[in-house]
């Protein structure tokens, strides 16, 4: 499991636009870079990031070899009700990790 840092506001008012910040530990190996032995290191990157709010997709990002290591993704969404946010990263070598957080709306 890769280390993640997810920042969701502790609470929000109904209709409020909140900022979500995520960081994940990942080498984002481009597949173009020679290693110490001179051979090209195989590509190992994250390719997508999806956020769902109570199961409904609210944000999606694609990632490419030029994305820096330990990708940071920040986005906003409209807080409507207290619910569960799921964050999913997928990538090379079957990488698939989901983290959850609760958004409290009152």
Query: Which residues contact other proteins by CB under 8 A?
Result: 3, 5, 7, 21, 23, 25, 28, 30, 32-36, 65-66, 68-70, 72, 74
Shortest CB 21 distance to other proteins, Å: 5
**Residue 34 beta carbon to other proteins: minimum distance, rounded to whole angstroms:** 7
Quote the least distance from Cβ 26 to other proteins, whole Å.
Answer: 10
Q: Closer to other proteins by CB, 23 or 61: give it.
A: 23
Residue carrying the six token digits 């960081």: 23
Nearer to other proteins, 33 or 81 (CB): 33
**Token duo for residue 95:** 């990488």
CB 91 within 8 A of CB 43: no
Q: Where are the beta strands (DSSP E) in the chain?
A: 4-7, 17-24, 46-53, 56-62, 72-78, 83-91, 95-103
């Amino acid at each position: 499991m890769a280390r993640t840092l997810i920042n969701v506001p502790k609470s929000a008012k109904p209709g409020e636009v909140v900022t979500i910040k995520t960081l994940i530990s990942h080498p984002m190996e481009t597949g173009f870079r020679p290693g110490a032995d001179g051979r090209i290191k195989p590509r190992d990157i994250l390719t997508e990031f999806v956020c769902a709010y109570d199961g409904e997709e609210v944000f999606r990002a694609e990632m490419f070899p030029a994305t820096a290591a330990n990708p940071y993704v920040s986005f906003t969404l409209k807080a409507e009700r207290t619910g569960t946010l799921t964050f999913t990263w997928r990538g090379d070598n079957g990488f698939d990790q989901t983290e959850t957080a609760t958004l409290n709306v009152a």
